[in-house]
């Protein structure tokens, strides 16, 4: 019987490229379309909010990168308006302008197995609640009135306007990459998180990448094929 730690290394070994070539999942014939169909949130009864966006004024990239920090104590900004939220989402996780099938972050095989949800608590002209971000039409789809996520946190002091949830559909990536697909989901979530952190900084907001949370508290809010990877609350650094 292998220990948990041994299993982790075993997974890493099994998902190394050499092992992978022999792994049965690599040649899975499950179509990506079929997998995608299972997770699209297409319920016409759900209300949609179409977002707009604008270009962010030029800023120094060295400053943006060096001034980024994780807000350990966060309070709400007085106001985030709907245009600002749309601007943040467009440039961090939206579809590219001239290549609609691609997004603002890299994705192994351009599969984009990660999905973005938002817990909206205090954004002007958007009811608080739980939303899915549909980058294809740059809109929010309201899933429920639930505007909580704090019960998933292991820490106190986070009072945000919005919390972004990055959730992976492992199957999409595994359909093409076998066991390595899991690694690719996590790597992609890191790219998304970094875009969000830098964009939040560019908007004059504070944000934090939170990997320490109770998975099940968040996962039960999601389609059961999606697993939460990262939480990114957005607000203002408390003094």
Q: CA angle at residue 64 from 59 to 68, to 5 degrees?
A: 155
Q: CB-hemisphere CA count at 13 Å for 117?
A: 31
Q: Comparing C-alpha atoms, which of 168, 163, 158, 149 is closest to residue 88?
A: 163
Separation of alpha carbons 87 and 42, rounded Å = 23
Instruction: Name the minimum Å distance from CB 190 to ligand FMN.
Output: 8
Report the residue count for the chain: 239
Residue 210 touching ligand FMN (CB under 6 A): yes
Q: Which of 37, 69, 81, 136 binds ligand FMN (CB under 6 A)?
A: 69
Which range, of 66-74, 107-115, 123-131, 165-173, touches ligand FMN by CB under 6 A?
A: 66-74
Nearer to ligand FMN, 20 or 217 (CB): 217
Q: What share of the chain is helix, strand, coil (3-state, %, to 5)?
A: 35, 20, 40
Instruction: Name the minimum Å distance from CB 36 to ligand FMN.
Output: 27
Q: Which of 196, 208, 218, 232 binds ligand FMN (CB under 6 A)?
A: 208
Residue 22 touching ligand FMN (CB under 6 A): no
Residue 27 touching ligand FMN (CB under 6 A): no
E strand spans, 107-151: 114-120, 129-134, 139-144
Residue 155 touching ligand FMN (CB under 6 A): yes
Residue 66 touching ligand FMN (CB under 6 A): no
Q: Comparing C-alpha atoms, which of 129, 112, 133 is closest to residue 120?
A: 129
Instruction: Name the minimum Å distance from CB 210 to ligand FMN.
Output: 4
CA distances from 4 to 11, 136, 183 (A): 11, 40, 18
Which residues 38-57 are close enough to bind ligand FMN by CB under 6 A?
none
Interface with ligand FMN (CB under 6 A), residue total 9
Contact 193, 116 (CB under 8 A): no
Q: Which of 43, 212, 224, 239 binds ligand FMN (CB under 6 A)?
A: 212
Residue 72 touching ligand FMN (CB under 6 A): yes
Instruction: Name the minimum Å distance from CB 237 to ligand FMN.
Output: 10
Residue 211 touching ligand FMN (CB under 6 A): yes
Residue 209 touching ligand FMN (CB under 6 A): yes
E strand spans, the chain: 48-50, 74-75, 114-120, 129-134, 139-144, 162-168, 206-207, 227-237
Residue numbers at the binding site for ligand FMN (CB under 6 A): 69-70, 72, 155, 208-212
């Amino acid at each position: 019987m292998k220990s948990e730690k041994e299993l982790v290394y075993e997974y890493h070994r099994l998902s190394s490229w050499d092992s992978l070539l022999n792994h049965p999942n690599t040649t899975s014939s499950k179509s990506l379309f079929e997998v995608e169909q299972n997770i699209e949130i297409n319920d016409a009864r759900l209300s949609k909010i179409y977002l707009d966006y604008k270009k962010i004024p030029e800023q120094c990239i060295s400053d943006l990168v060096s001034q980024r920090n994780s807000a350990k104590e966060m309070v709400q900004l007085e106001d985030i308006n709907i245009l600002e939220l749309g601007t943040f989402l467009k440039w961090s996780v939206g579809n590219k302008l001239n290549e609609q099938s691609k997004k603002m972050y890299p994705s192994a095989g351009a599969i984009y197995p990660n999905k973005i949800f938002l817990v909206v608590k205090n954004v002007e002209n958007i009811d608080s609640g739980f939303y899915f971000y549909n980058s294809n039409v740059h809109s929010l789809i309201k899933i429920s009135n639930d505007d909580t996520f704090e019960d998933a946190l292991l820490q106190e002091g986070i009072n945000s306007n919005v919390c972004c949830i990055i959730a992976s559909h492992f199957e999409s990536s595994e359909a093409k990459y076998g066991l390595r697909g899991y690694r690719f989901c996590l790597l992609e979530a890191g790219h998304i998180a970094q875009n969000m952190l830098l964009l939040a900084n560019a908007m004059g907001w504070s944000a934090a990448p939170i990997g320490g949370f109770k998975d099940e508290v968040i996962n039960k809010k999601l389609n059961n094929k999606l697993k939460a990877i990262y939480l990114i609350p957005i607000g203002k650094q408390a003094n």
